Structure 1
Amino acid sequence: MMTQSVRRFPASLLAAMLALPIGLAACQSGNEGEGTLGAVAGDATAAQAAQAAPPAQSASGPAKASESLGKGPVKVAMILPLSAGGAAGDRGRKIRDAAALAMADLGNDLITLNVEDTGGDDARARTLTTGALASGAKLVIGPSEPGAVRQLGSVSGSNRPLVLALADNYAGAPGVYSVRLNEADSAAAGAAAIAAKGARKFVLFMAEGEAGKATEKRVANSLSIYGASLAVALPFGPSTGGSEKAVADMQALVGDPQAIVVAGGSANPAPLVAALRAKGMLGKDVSLVGSNRWLEHGIDDPTLQGAYIATLDSAEIGPIAERFRKTYNYEPDVNVAYGYDTVALAAGIASALGPKGFTKKVIESPTGFRGSTGVFRFREDGAGERAMPFFRVDKGKLKLVEKSTSGF
């Protein structure tokens, strides 16, 4: 079986943590006696969400520079690029709308969510985040600006709130947790899925620098679950001499891998995969595993045919999708899931444990949480780990192989 079994959630959090979206789904489906978690479902919830907080620009009007949602005793700060242009602003507004929906569903009486707009400016993101850290907030959700997030790991203080960071390709730091799926988790889950099928000897091509080291560690840990291991891990990037040299280096060290994982960060994987094929390293008995970052370059290159990728399905975000469409009249994506799940987590902790529940011990629960994107958990080093669908590249598209796999 590729799919990892998921242990039960702590009893003290079961009624209020991220099982809540699952409960809402049960309520919507009309299953009496299931999901009785006190949440309002269906059109009533959608109407409540719309009344509780007007949608941001992506729905029906301009984003607000600052707004407060809910009236609960626990303060939570959310820092987003609401008025930024392009993809950053679109992403921020979707997260805000999902947060408002989660507040209406779960959080209005438990937390007060203060939403601040960075405008996509890194300096303003740092200023707002610093202010949130000193404001008495128990949790900070965001920012999404990479520079601002990276600096948070160096901020000390015993009273500093925990941070659920929303930056892309962020590895995490103690107390500053990576919410978005990153390459290390994607590669680890994909490798674990292949190891579950029997492969034992793996090669990893990874990004240069600290990101690559993080990927190597995560992949090695995931393989150990199945008794598999990395025969060699090779950095791959501009300073390593290109695809041909990378493949030659691999051949000098190992000649018969059962699986090759290519997780090269921002590098286009196609030239490396082409070099592997040219040297006969991708025979029918050798599995090729990619990562979510392959999607940045597209997967329509025939060279990538047959590769496996573990990644989130942006078209499948659980039971909140239909209610989100009805509330805001546009299509949800994975950003909506991140926005909803982070606020749901905050509301769940506030409900089960109160203000004193916002601790590393709770956030880093090894059993994890269930959200609209599936099961996830946070590690002590700030990295996020997720269960996710497992796909095979078929004629430039992702074809589902397994509904869920994980590297933990």
Structure 2
Amino acid sequence: MEGPLYRNQGSPALRSVGPTRRTAVGLILGMPLLGACAGGGGQISSPFGPAPPEGPPGPQQQPLAVGTGNVKVGLILPLSAAGNAGVAALSMKNAAEMALAEFQNPNIQLLIKDDGGNPQGAQQVTQEALGEGVEIILGPLFAGSVPATAQMARSRGIPVIAFSTDSSVAGRGVFLLSFLPESDVYRIVDYSASIGKRSFAALLPDNAYGNVVEAAFKQAAGRKGRIVAFEKYAADRAGAARTVAQSLGSADALFIADDGESVVATADALTAAGANLRNIQMLGTGLWDNPRVYASPVLQGGLYAAPDSSGFRAFSGRYRAKFGADPVRTATLAYDAVALVAALSKQQGSHRFSPETLTNPSGFAGIDGLFRFRSDGTNERGLAVMRVASGGPTPVAGPPKSFGA
């Protein structure tokens, strides 16, 4: 074992193995196979991550170098951004430094840069990082800043692991280590099909998040069964609810993907339209991890996909002991990103950040459980299935132990 990162079987190479073997993941990141939770630190599948900063930003922070290793790694965060964005960035910076401290003798030097939460800042600090010889860049956080970094890094053959949840900014050499809505959709539809649900209805918001979820849902539900009703709502939630309610007699599962307050409002609109939601299996995404959802009588027994809870709880305890405060939910992304590059730099030699290494089909396991990068830059995560109950979420199916090759 090598501190908080350890190798299975001491093998020097990442590899794919069968799904029944404990060594299915090439690397184990974080403490021994910790998972994560959607609760305790806030929702995790928010539409495209933190909102753009509001109000005047603070002064741009000076670059910071942490560690003395030979492998230089850039970390780009909106440290001077206003509001919640700056708070999230500081928590992610702390988590990144925590990962370095918990990994024994990492051969990396982390160059922390402040992009201010905007594309111009991202372009500036990316140029600085490339000039300083970084081999890989972690960040930025905002979708609007990722292309600015990606364009410059790609021209130099430097890979990027960004934290945006907008899959449209992923691409060749630009990987997203984030909680993508698509993962929630695929997991919950697959699980519902495994318990015999084949006819699906859906009610989604008419916004950017809803568009992403729509594409994933139609693909997943079309593969597992059929869609008998589908509506999107903007201002007229009641009208869309009435249309779906009229078709629920031929559906055995109803999928609603929105934040907690909106999910409750949508469920209430369906009930007002005459739908008996107790006669149908309700399905949702990680945004259902919300006290309003657990308190809703009509959503009791609903199922949604989310990481397992144990990893984030343990991570939060270590973070709290070190920094005297609770981490934001996205802090684990920065931790896992730094832990990943530290492990790869130690174990993979000159191929440490090659596309073949980063897209190893066996994937990796970190604070938030199993994950792997796809060749298109998006990711796949191993998620649990949770049931809504008045006292909080109850796990009904654990995350997978491994990925198939």
- Asked whether the two chains share a fold, i.e. TM above 0.5, the reply is yes
Task: Report the Cα distance in structure 2 between the residues aligned to 1:221 and 1:66, rounded to whole angstroms.
Answer: 44
Q: 2:304 aligned with 1:309, yes or no?
A: yes
Task: Report the Cα distance in structure 2 between the residues aligned to 1:354 and 1:318, rounded to whole angstroms.
Answer: 33
1:78 equivalent in structure 2: 75
Match of 2:183 among 175, 181, 185: 185
- TM-score, normalised on structure 2? 0.74
2:160 equivalent in structure 1: 163
Task: Report the Cα distance in structure 2 between the residues aligned to 1:63 and 1:402, rounded to whole angstroms.
Answer: 45
RMSD: 3.8
After superposition, the C-alpha distances for 1:71-116 in whole angstroms (9 at most, x for unaligned) are: 2222211011223343222211121111112112337542221001
2:225 equivalent in structure 1: 229
1:362 equivalent in structure 2: 357
Q: Secondary structure at the match of 1:147?
A: coil
* 1:225-374 map, 5 Å: 228-231=224-227, 234=230, 236-238=232-234, 242-250=236-244, 255-264=249-258, 268-295=262-289, 298-299=292-293, 300-312=295-307, 316-317=311-312, 320-374=315-369
1:298: Cα distance to partner?
Answer: 4.2
1:181: Cα distance to partner?
Answer: 1.1
Contact 1:75–1:114 (Cα < 8 Å) also in 2? yes
Change (3 A) 1:323 1:245: closer
Q: Percent identity?
A: 27
212-221 or 107-116, larger mean C-alpha shift: 212-221
Task: Report the Cα distance in structure 1 between the residues aligned to 2:12 and 2:274, rounded to whole angstroms.
Answer: 52
Q: 2:157 aligned with 1:146, yes or no?
A: no
1:314: Cα distance to partner?
Answer: 6.8
Task: Report the Cα distance in structure 2 between the residues aligned to 1:156 and 1:345, rounded to whole angstroms.
Answer: 19
1:97 equivalent in structure 2: 94
Change (3 A) 1:318 1:364: farther
Task: Report the Cα distance in structure 1 between the residues aligned to 2:127 and 2:220, rounded to whole angstroms.
Answer: 35
User: What letter matches 2:194 in structure 1?
Assistant: A
Task: Report the Cα distance in structure 1 between the residues aligned to 2:212 and 2:12, rounded to whole angstroms.
Answer: 32
1:29 equivalent in structure 2: none
* 1:6-25 map, 5 Å: 12-13=13-14, 18-23=27-32
* 1:8-157 map, 5 Å: 12-13=13-14, 18-23=27-32, 65-106=62-103, 108-132=105-129, 136-151=133-148, 157=154
1:207: Cα distance to partner?
Answer: 4.5
Task: Report the Cα distance in structure 2 between the residues aligned to 1:237 and 1:130, rounded to whole angstroms.
Answer: 43
1:381 equivalent in structure 2: 376
Contact 2:122–2:148 (Cα < 8 Å) also in 1? no
User: What letter matches 1:274 in structure 2?
Assistant: D
User: What letter matches 1:291 in structure 2?
Assistant: T
2:170 equivalent in structure 1: 173
1:370: Cα distance to partner?
Answer: 0.4
Change (3 A) 1:171 1:121: closer
Q: Secondary structure at the match of 1:334?
A: coil
Task: Report the Cα distance in structure 2 between the residues aligned to 1:301 and 1:146, rounded to whole angstroms.
Answer: 33
User: What letter matches 1:105 in structure 2?
Assistant: E
1:310: Cα distance to partner?
Answer: 1.7
Q: Secondary structure at the match of 2:361?
A: coil
- TM-score, normalised on structure 1? 0.73
Change (3 A) 1:156 1:327: closer
Q: Structure 2, unaligned stretches of length 5 or more?
A: 1-7, 16-22, 35-58
Q: In the comparison of the two structures, how many residue pairs are matched?
A: 361
Change (3 A) 1:255 1:105: same
After superposition, the C-alpha distances for 1:313-352 in whole angstroms (9 at most, x for unaligned) are: 6774265444333322333453332121100111122122
Change (3 A) 1:342 1:71: same
User: What letter matches 2:190 in structure 1?
Assistant: A
Contact 2:203–2:241 (Cα < 8 Å) also in 1? no
